[in-house]
Amino acid sequence: MNFSLTEEARFFEGMGADWLTHHADANGRKPFMKKGTTPKWCRDRFVDVRHIKLEIAPDFRSRTITGTATLTVAPINDNADFLILDACEMEIQSVKADGRAVDFDHDGENLTVYFGQTLEADNAIELAVKYSATPRRGAYFVGPDRGYPNKHLEFWTQGQDEDSRYWFPCFDYPNEKATSEIIARVPKGMVSLSNGALIDARDDGNHEWHHWKHDVPHVAYLITLVIGDYTKVSKDYDGIPVDYYVPRGREDDGERCFGRTPEMVKFFSETTGVRYPYAKYAQITAADFIFGGMENTTATTQTELTLHDATAALDFSSDPLNSHELAHQWFGDYLTCRDWSHAWLNESFATYFEAMWQEHANGDDEFEYYLDADWRSYLAEDRGAYRRPIQTNVYNEPLDLFDRHLYQKGAVILHHLRKTLGDRLWWKVINHYLTKNAEGSVITQDFASAIEDVTGKNYDWFFSQWIYGGGHPDFKLKARWDDKTGSLDYSILQKQKPDELTAVFRMPVKVRFVYSGGEETREFEIDKPAHRYHIKLPAKPKWICFDPGNAVPKTVELDYTEEMLISQLEHDDDVMGRVYAARTLGGKATKKATEALARALAHDKFWGVQAECAAALGKVHTTDALEALLEHADGGHPKARRAVARALGEFRDGRAGAQLCPMLEKDESYYVSAEAALALGKTRSGVAFELMEKCLARESHNDVIRSHIFNGFCELRDMRALEVMREWTSYGRPAQARLAAIGALGRLAHESTEDKDKTVARETIEPLLEGDFRTAMSAISGLEALKDAKGIPALAKLARTTHDSRIKKRAQGAIDAIRAAQGTRKEVQELRDDYDKLKEAHDKLKERLDKLEDLDKEAKKKRPTESLKKTAKLTTKVAARSGRNGKPKESAKKSAKTSTSKKVAKRKPASKKKARKR
C-alpha cells in the first residue's frame, strides 16, 4: 500500500519536509502512543481457511451488494464446534455448513457460526454465508452526479488493513492465507478485474458473470474486485501477461504511466532470483481512491491521479508508485507479515525496491538522492511528531503504523544493511528469505534468520538498534590539519542523546580523504559517543567525504573549513558529498560560499545538487545570492527550476517577484509554475494577488497550480483571497483544487484580524466534514489551521460518529492542536509580525553592508598608489634634513616628534565629536 498520491510530493517534501512540526510539543515531539496503550498480539487461528469463493452482485443504482461467501475451512484442533468470522455492517440471511442450515449469531461485527456438531482436526467443511450490505468501508461505488457529471462510473474494493470484513465475511487478519475465486455480476459493456485468471464469462441479459480464480494462497485484505468502463492494454514479460486498464480516452496517458511495467517485472524477477510468482500482473486506476496504490495479488489498484499528460511527464513519473506496488507482489503478497507489528517487512521492502528501480533505471545519483528524500521525509516525522521503533506492537489501529518510520526510514535501513553486507551477500539473503518462506507469513526474526543462514553472522546488534530501537546517529565531524606533524586531527562525534529508545549506534563507516596527487579511503568502526583520530596523510586534504555512497542513516554537521567545503562541492564525484557540502555552505553566508553555490547551481551535472544550491542560496539571503538565483531561473532541469522558484520566495525584493511572475504564467512545467505561485505569495509582491487570481484559470496535472496558488494566498495574507477560496470550496469545482481550497481557507482566515472572516470560514468548512473521505480530511485540516475553538464541537461530533479510524484520529489530533493554540494566538501573531519586521530590517542592513563592502574594495584598490606618493614626499623631506648616512639630525627628530604630538592633540576633540554623531 502506498499513501503518496503523486511522485512530485517526494520532491516538495524533501526540499522542505516540515509539515509535521505544528503537531510537536515544546520538546519537539510527542510519544508515538499514550502511556498505557495496550500491546496488540497476533490473533489466534482456530481453523485453517483453505479457500474463499465469493459470488457477488454489486448494484450501481442502490449502491448495495448481495452475495454468498463460501469458505472452505478445517479445524486446527479437535472438538471444534463453532467459528467466529469478521462480518461488519452487513445483513446475514443464512449460513449453511456442507449444504445444511446451521445456527448463527451476528452482532454487527462478528458472525459466530455453530456447526451443530464437534469437528475433528484437519477435516474440511464448507460454510456458505448468504448476505447483503450497503458498505461504508471496504467497497466503494463512484460515479457521476450533479456536481461532477463526467466522473467515471466504477465499483472498487480496498481491503487493507482490515476492511475486507465490510464487503464479505472472512477471517480478516494477515496470518490467514487461502486460495480464492470471485464470480461477479458485471453490467454489460463494462469490464472487471480481480485476482488470478479470468476463467469464464457468461451472458445474463443486461449483465455478465465474470469468474476469476487465484490458486496461490493470499490474505483476505488482498482480495479485490474492480468494475467499470475501461480500456485494457496487454503486454507481457516472459510469457506472463502484464496488463493495464484505464478509462476510455486515456490510453496515451496510460502508456506514459504503466508502459515500463514489463521491464520492472523483469528487473525484480532477476535481482531477487524468484520469477514473478503468479499467473498475471495487472494494474487498474480508480477514481476517488483513498490511497495512492494497493498491491492486491496480481491486480494492483492505483489512484487515477497517477495518469498524466506529456507536459506533466517533463518532471513527473508514475514509476515510483508502479515499482512500489509491484515489489509488494514479492514482499507483502508472496510473503506477508504475520501481524501488523511486523508490517515493515511489507512496506520498508517495497519502498526500498522502489528506490532500487530508480538505481536501475536512472543511475546512482538519482538513486542516492531519492533515498535522501526518503530520509528527510522520515526526519520531519521524527523531529516534529514522534519517534518510535520500526517494529512495535504498541498501537491503537493498524494504520497508526503506516507512517514514515515504516516506509521511508525502513527503506534507508535496508540500504544500510545492503551496503554492510555487500551486494553479493545482500541478494543471496533476499533470495534465501523469499524461497525459505515462500507463500507464508513472516515476522522480523525470519528475515534476521535468513541473514544469519547466509552470512554465518549474528546480526542481532543491527536489529536491536535499527528495528527494535528508535532514532538515528546525529554526527558532528571535525577536521583540523597540523602542518608540523603532517597529520589530520579528525573527530567523529555522535550528538544524539541516548535514552531507553535511542542508542549510541554501532556501525562501520568509510571516510575518503582527497589531497593533491591522490586519495585514500579508510574504514572506522564507530561504537562510542566520540572517536578522535590522528591520521597521517601525504598532504593536507582538499576535502573529506564522510560515508561515500551515503550508506549510513544519519544526520551530519560538518565542522570543516570553508575551503574544504567549496572544494568538495566543486570536485567530489559522490553526489551526496556535494549535497552535504552545499547544505553546510548555505549556513555560512560568506562571499566565497555564495560564489561557490552560484557556480554549482549553474554547472553541476545533477539537478539535485543544483536544487540544493538554490535552497542554500535562499538561506544565504544576500543580494549576491538573489542575483545568482535570478540568473539561473530560466534554464536547466525543471526540478532544479522548482527549487530556484522556491528559493526566490525567501526574498521580499521586487526583482524576485518580477522573476516569479513569468514562471507562474508561462513555464513549460506545471510544477515549476506551481512552486512559483507559492513563492510569489511569500514575496508579498504588489502584483501577486491579481496575477495569482488570473492564473487560477490554468489547468494542470492534478490541479497542482491552483493548489499552490491557494497556499500562496496564505503566504501573501491578502484577505481578498478569502472570498476567492470560499468559492472554490463549492461542490462541483475541480476536485483537487477544491480540496486545497478547503484547507487553505482556514489557514488564511486565521491570519485575519476580523472575527467575521473567521466565522465565515468556519461556517463554510464545518458542513464539509460530512463529505467523502478526502473532503472530510481537508475540512479537518482547514479547521485545525483556523484554530477557532468554536470548531471543536463539530470535530468532536465527527470523531464520535465516523466509521473511519483515520478520520477519527485526525479529528482528535485537530481538537488537541486547537486547544493547545488557545491563549497563544495573540503572542504568536505578535512574534510573527516582529519576525517579519526584523527580516525586512535585516535584508535592508545586508544590502547596505554589501554596498559598503563594494566601496571598501574599490578604496583598497586606490590606496596603494596614494600611499606610495605620500611615502615618496616624506622620504624627500627626511633626506634633506639628513646627513650622508641617511640618519636624521637630532633637531629633525625633535621637530618631527613635536609636530606629531600637536597633530594628535588636535585630532582628539574631532574624534569625540564624530563619536557623538554616530
Which percentage of the chain shows pLDDT scores above 90?
Answer: 85
Cell of 138: 471496504
Q: What is the pLDDT of residues 378-405, one digit of tens each?
A: 999 999 999 999 999 999 999 999 999 9
Q: Please determine, for residue 909, whether its predicted confidence score (pLDDT) is greater than 50.
A: no
Residue 813 vs residues 388, 785, 909: alpha-carbon distances, Å: 18, 12, 67
627 neighbors 594 (Cβ within 8 angstroms): no
The confidence score (pLDDT) of residue 635 equals 84
Handedness of CA 736, 738, 739, 744 (dihedral sign): positive
Q: Please determine, for residue 10, whether its predicted confidence score (pLDDT) is greater than 80.
A: no
pLDDT band at residue 4 using 50, 70 and 90 as cut-offs: low
Q: Please determine, for residue 579, whether its predicted confidence score (pLDDT) is greater than 80.
A: yes
Q: Please determine, for residue 7, whether its predicted confidence score (pLDDT) is greater than 60.
A: no
The confidence score (pLDDT) of residue 622 equals 94
Q: What is the pTM of this model?
A: 0.89
The confidence score (pLDDT) of residue 91 equals 98
Mean pLDDT of 512-519: 96
pLDDT band at residue 350 using 50, 70 and 90 as cut-offs: very high
Q: Please determine, for residue 6, whether its predicted confidence score (pLDDT) is greater than 90.
A: no
The confidence score (pLDDT) of residue 906 equals 36
Q: Please determine, for residue 536, whether its predicted confidence score (pLDDT) is greater than 50.
A: yes
Cell of 192: 472487471
Mean pLDDT of 705-722: 98
Q: Please determine, for residue 18, whether its predicted confidence score (pLDDT) is greater than 50.
A: no
Mean pLDDT of 877-889: 44
Mean pLDDT of 500-509: 96
Residue 848 vs residues 652, 790, 854, 914: alpha-carbon distances, Å: 15, 47, 10, 21
The confidence score (pLDDT) of residue 8 equals 45
* Mean pLDDT computed over every residue of the chain: 91
Mean pLDDT of 463-478: 98
Q: What angle do CA 551, 556, 557 make, to 5 degrees?
A: 155
Q: Please determine, for residue 836, whether its predicted confidence score (pLDDT) is greater than 70.
A: no
The confidence score (pLDDT) of residue 158 equals 97
> Other C-beta atoms within 10 Å of 677: how many?
32
φ, ψ dihedrals at 481, nearest 5°: -95, 135
CA atoms within 13 A on the CB side of 689: 13
Q: Please determine, for residue 27, whether its predicted confidence score (pLDDT) is greater than 50.
A: no
The confidence score (pLDDT) of residue 30 equals 87
Q: How far apart are CA 772 and CA 416, in angstroms?
A: 41
Q: Please determine, for residue 477, whether its predicted confidence score (pLDDT) is greater than 60.
A: yes
Q: Please determine, for residue 25, whether its predicted confidence score (pLDDT) is greater than 60.
A: no
Mean pLDDT of 242-267: 98
Q: Please determine, for residue 911, whether its predicted confidence score (pLDDT) is greater than 60.
A: no
Cell of 86: 469478521
766 neighbors 779 (Cβ within 8 angstroms): yes
Q: Please determine, for residue 862, whether its predicted confidence score (pLDDT) is greater than 70.
A: no
pLDDT band at residue 21 using 50, 70 and 90 as cut-offs: very low
The confidence score (pLDDT) of residue 624 equals 96
Q: Please determine, for residue 834, whether its predicted confidence score (pLDDT) is greater than 80.
A: no
Q: Please determine, for residue 639, whether its predicted confidence score (pLDDT) is greater than 60.
A: yes
Q: How far apart are CA 871 and CA 867, in angstroms?
A: 6
The confidence score (pLDDT) of residue 846 equals 63
Angle, helix 344-362 to helix 444-455, in steps of 10 degrees: 50
String of DSSP letters for 774-843? HHHHHHHHHHHHHT-GGGHHHHHHHHHH-S-HHHHHHHHHHHHHHHHHTTTHHHHHHHHHHHHHHHHHHH
